[in-house]
Structure 1
Amino acid sequence: MGEQVAEPLRKFASSRICKVSGFSTELVEFHSEEPVLHILFIPGNPGIVSFYKKFIEAMYENFEGRASITGIGHVSHTKKTCVTRRTFSLQDQINHKVDFIKQELQDTKIPVIMVKLTVALYPFLTRNKGSFKQDFIGFISRSSILSAAVSTLSYSLGLLPTRVKSFLVRRSLGPSWTSSAVDIIATNLLEYQTMRSILFMTLTEFEELAEDPDWSFIRSKQGEIAILFGDDDHWGPLTLLEEISKQAPDVHLAVEKEGHTHAFCCTDAGSVWVADHVASLIKIRILSAET
């Protein structure tokens, strides 16, 4: 009988809370012993980086331990990082990420690659004026009364027993979502202050995205930018892809057609597919260019 070759043990991303500009911040990360690059991942809204743990782990496996990866969450978007009686705008969250880079990555000697999701792509995106969903979300975020009502409802649901909360979330989202994604929603989104923070950031996002994308900036960096669109994603409609291809033809554009949704991080298959896509782009456009 031949000897069995033991498979390497799978590594899991670690999570921790660190202070950035005085605010508690959630990180999900891998530290490579011999990295050739560092990937910084920034989520959209909600900015709960633990949603993307499977995605970050799949990215790390793609690079076979040669990349350090850090995912950073938004201030006050989780129960652990909640700041009482304060909300944070889109610009506040951007400043927070800049402060993190200065604090943690300033002296990094290897390339730092930024991977961002949806509105974290500002100033690359603009509001989808043809989306009823965006109109509805914007309507709620603009109303202090409705925002407070939605936040209060979330808080009330959060008072239910854990099993009941998880059951309701599962019934609302469908069976394809992972148990960890359901638990993250039940733990963090069913809180008054986190929901207020998310809705206030949404309000300021819509204010910023009412303007056209910063085409001059995009054109100046187009050789360094790659954007993945969904086949049917109102946050990044294909009409925007067409506009980018005209305004900045050297931006690498791709469309996902495998059936994964905007919430790809909440399914194992979606997390792995997007991680494979992103990793292959980095290998081709960054690593191969340096060898």
Structure 2
Amino acid sequence: MSTVDSSDLILVNKLPKPEEIFKLKNDYIEGEPLKFVWMVEEHLTETLWWPSKNNEENLILFVIPGNPGVIDYYFEFLNTIHNELGKKIDIVGVSMLGHSHGPHNPHLKNLYSLQDQIDHKIQCVDKLRSQFTSQEDKKQPKFIICGHSIGAYVGSQVLKARPNHGIENIYALFPTLQHIVKTPNGMMLNFLFNERARSLAASFVGNLRYFVPQTLFKFLVALLTRQKESMIDITLSALLHGHVVENSLYLAGLEMETVCELDEELYREHLDKFIFYFSEGDGWAPLEHYEDMKRRFPEGRVLLCESNTPHAFVLNHGEVMGKKVAGWMLTLIELTLNRV
């Protein structure tokens, strides 16, 4: 699996027009993503963008990652979607604020709350809507929001704040939408999310990076995580830095406090827009949550994965899930064409 190169990030105020792409990156290959630091309001935003070849539907897939919110982990998943759809839609994915190391994250003392992350994603959609509105006929873009884990909750809050912004669907993948602290993983790991524990974890990671030789550090990460090479590289370069670890744990603690009772009214009001996708062995969005959603919304698209794909699907099942999501999108596109 190829990955994007973080060594030559480009700061942009808005995503470039197709004819400007080659000016910004001479080695750009059609069908691969461009990696930018995109200025969204006052936030430097790590962004992956798969430009469309010919987006006649003016459809944007906007992707919100789970925690830790490193968009690079989603490369294989999103690249598969883009290829399956013939490169005919725009895909834009952004990292969570403070969740990856790099020039886009200069304020190393900032801790971003769950509400900060929600507000930022609303701002992203606002900016994309403005940029992708046709100058000729003022045709506004349509959005599909794909949120993974807590990203599904964030996506639902974007819809709540912007119900009239052309959001056609929300794909809630392995969604954490209620009582996260009561889930198997929530109960097991909640002790890590208090201020003292997360500070100790951040210091430990920082010291490891400083004192342990890089080759040994990589070996230890590979041994402990059992990730494939491309994912280990992302974990080392983007995630395993003290300030990033602290932000990730800080957000997790707020998720435990905030995401409690299901916002049934919101999901019932917009039920036709949602696909909820669960997996039986998921420790963060367990089978009980699937069964509860089926009971509450028997007419909704509440799906259970037949192959028990893990919660962290991006690590080893990106292609499989990419084909699944592309299939949903093709159905939506066909329905849209039939309505015209």
**Aligned-pair distance for 1:287?**
3.1
The Cα offsets for residues 246-286 of structure 1, whole Å up to 9 and x where unpaired, read as 2222321222233532221112xx00111111111122244
Match of 2:96 among 74, 77, 84: 74
Partner of 1:162: 214
Partner of 1:279: 326
Question: Within 2, Cα distance between the matches of 1:260 and 1:169?
Answer: 23
- Any unmatched runs of 5+ in structure 1? 1-8
Partner of 2:169: none
Question: Within 1, Cα distance between the matches of 2:205 and 2:287?
Answer: 33
Match of 1:180 among 215, 223, 230: 230
Mean Cα displacement is larger for which, 246-255 or 184-193? 246-255
Partner of 1:153: 204
Question: Within 1, Cα distance between the matches of 2:90 and 2:143?
Answer: 9
The Cα offsets for residues 49-97 of structure 1, whole Å up to 9 and x where unpaired, read as 0010111100101100111100111111111132221100111001001
The Cα offsets for residues 113-167 of structure 1, whole Å up to 9 and x where unpaired, read as 100001112257112455443123222212x111110111111122233222221
Match of 1:98 among 122, 125, 129: 122
Question: Is the Cα–Cα contact under 8 Å of residues 56 and 275 in structure 1 kept in the other structure?
Answer: yes
The Cα offsets for residues 171-212 of structure 1, whole Å up to 9 and x where unpaired, read as 1122xx331210111122221111111111111111111x21
Partner of 2:267: 218
Question: Within 1, Cα distance between the matches of 2:271 and 2:253?
Answer: 28
Say whether 1:193 aligns with 2:251.
Answer: no
Partner of 1:263: 312
| Structure 1 residues 186 and 275: CA distance shift in structure 2, 3 A | same
Say whether 1:240 aligns with 2:285.
Answer: no
Say whether 1:13 aligns with 2:33.
Answer: yes
In percent, how many aligned pairs have the same letter?
20
Structure 1 consecutive aligned stretches of length 4 or more whose deviation exceeds 6 Å: none
Question: Within 2, Cα distance between the matches of 1:186 and 1:274?
Answer: 24
Question: Within 1, Cα distance between the matches of 2:39 and 2:213?
Answer: 31
| Structure 1 residues 193 and 43: CA distance shift in structure 2, 3 A | same
SS at match of 2:93: strand
State the Cα RMSD in Å.
1.8
Question: Is the Cα–Cα contact under 8 Å of residues 183 and 286 in structure 2 kept in the other structure?
Answer: no
Mean Cα displacement is larger for which, 224-233 or 246-255? 246-255
Question: Is the Cα–Cα contact under 8 Å of residues 70 and 100 in structure 2 kept in the other structure?
Answer: yes
How many residue pairs match? The answer is: 277
Question: Is the Cα–Cα contact under 8 Å of residues 13 and 56 in structure 1 kept in the other structure?
Answer: no
- TM-score with structure 1 setting the length: 0.89
Say whether 1:33 aligns with 2:53.
Answer: yes
Question: Is the Cα–Cα contact under 8 Å of residues 36 and 47 in structure 2 kept in the other structure?
Answer: yes
SS at match of 2:32: coil
